């Protein structure tokens, strides 16, 4: 499963504002998964976690040794992950239809598993706000078959984006998405970006002081399959997973550049001590490239 091969880096500049260079080659850290998703980098532990959804496991790559192993199996067919301000893992469990937090002692706390008394579909991606609220998308991919979860019916009958304050019930903040997927806040948390996989676009919302959303205009449309995971760098540029690699957009909607990869990219995360390593989960493999740009600081470090 461990891979040490590299491929030529293909960074395509479409606009001078891309202003991004990096390694001459992209390294494939490991391969052999069925469908990789949800990468999250743990800065204190110097490791990367990601979900191999059909195999129902979370994999762990150690930055200091280069080894890879199983972090958790079974894992509730987890998809997206993030960290909270205490370094605890927050996960979208497609198979268990819930969002959870792994405590420091290894126990699991359920943050959300229903909306208005109806079971969630299959939570997909998750981000945190500096106020402690958890935001997640809820498409049906984990209940449409047994491949990425457990076949079941949608009790809600729609696919929403939710905001939940731990200890409270989730609040639906986007009601008109078709297949909401990747999420990312702008560095100042004034904007929320949302990828809708079926509609093949990214929308942008303004975040209100009360934790609500306004707007929702289409920011960018995908011409290479569809968008999946999203991340933002510290300049405010939006990085989006697509079928041919990773696309980079300016907040005005202009596509600035691309990083091409040989597999369909599902998600990405900036990591490393300086947040200038871009980790990309792409179907069966995890790739990484060191860039001349840095990922945005986590929300709890911005205040």
What is the rounded end-to-end Cα distance, in angstroms, of the chain?
A: 40
Which residue do the tokens 């994999």 mark?
59
Backbone angles phi, psi at 9, to 5 degrees: -75, 135
pLDDT of residue 166: 86
33-to-37, 96, 262 alpha-carbon distances in Å: 10, 21, 15
pTM: 0.97
pLDDT of residue 1: 66
Per-residue pLDDT tens listing for the chain (303 residues):
666 699 999 999 999 999 999 999 999 999 999 999 999 999 999 999 999 999 999 999 999 999 999 999 999 999 999 999 999 999 999 999 999 999 999 999 999 999 999 999 999 999 999 999 999 999 999 999 999 999 999 999 999 999 999 889 999 999 999 999 999 999 999 999 999 999 999 999 999 999 999 999 999 999 999 999 999 999 999 999 999 999 999 999 999 999 999 999 999 999 999 999 999 999 999 999 999 999 999 876 654
pLDDT of residue 2: 64
């Amino acid at each position: 499963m461990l891979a040490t091969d590299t491929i030529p880096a293909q960074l395509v500049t479409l606009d001078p504002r891309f202003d991004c260079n990096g390694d001459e080659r992209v390294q494939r850290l490991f391969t052999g998964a069925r469908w990789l998703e949800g990468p999250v980098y743990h800065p204190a532990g110097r490791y990367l976690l990601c979900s191999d959804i059909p195999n129902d496991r979370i994999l762990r790559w150690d930055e200091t040794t280069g080894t890879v192993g199983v972090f958790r199996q079974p894992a509730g067919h987890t998809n997206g992950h993030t960290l909270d301000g205490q370094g605890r893992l927050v996960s979208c469990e497609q198979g268990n239809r819930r969002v959870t937090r792994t405590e420091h002692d290894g126990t699991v706390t359920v943050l959300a598993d229903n909306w208005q008394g109806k079971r969630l579909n299959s939570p997909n991606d998750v981000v945190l706000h500096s106020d402690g609220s958890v935001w997640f998308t809820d498409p049906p991919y984990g209940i449409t078959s047994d491949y990425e979860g457990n076949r079941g019916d949608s009790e809600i009958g729609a696919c929403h984006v939710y905001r939940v304050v731990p200890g409270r019930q989730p609040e639906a903040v986007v009601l008109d998405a078709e297949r909401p997927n990747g999420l990312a806040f702008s560095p100042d948390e004034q904007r929320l970006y949302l990828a809708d996989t079926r509609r093949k676009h990214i929308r942008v919302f303004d975040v209100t002081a009360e934790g609500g959303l306004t707007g929702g205009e289409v920011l960018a449309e995908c011409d290479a399959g569809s968008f999946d995971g999203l991340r933002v760098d510290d300049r405010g540029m939006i990085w989006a997973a697509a079928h041919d690699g990773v696309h980079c957009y300016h907040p005005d909607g202009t596509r600035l550049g691309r990083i091409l990869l040989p597999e369909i990219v599902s998600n990405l995360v900036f990591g490393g001590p300086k947040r200038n390593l871009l980790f990309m989960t792409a179907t069966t493999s995890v790739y990484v490239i060191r860039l001349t740009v840095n990922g945005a600081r986590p929300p709890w470090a911005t205040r």
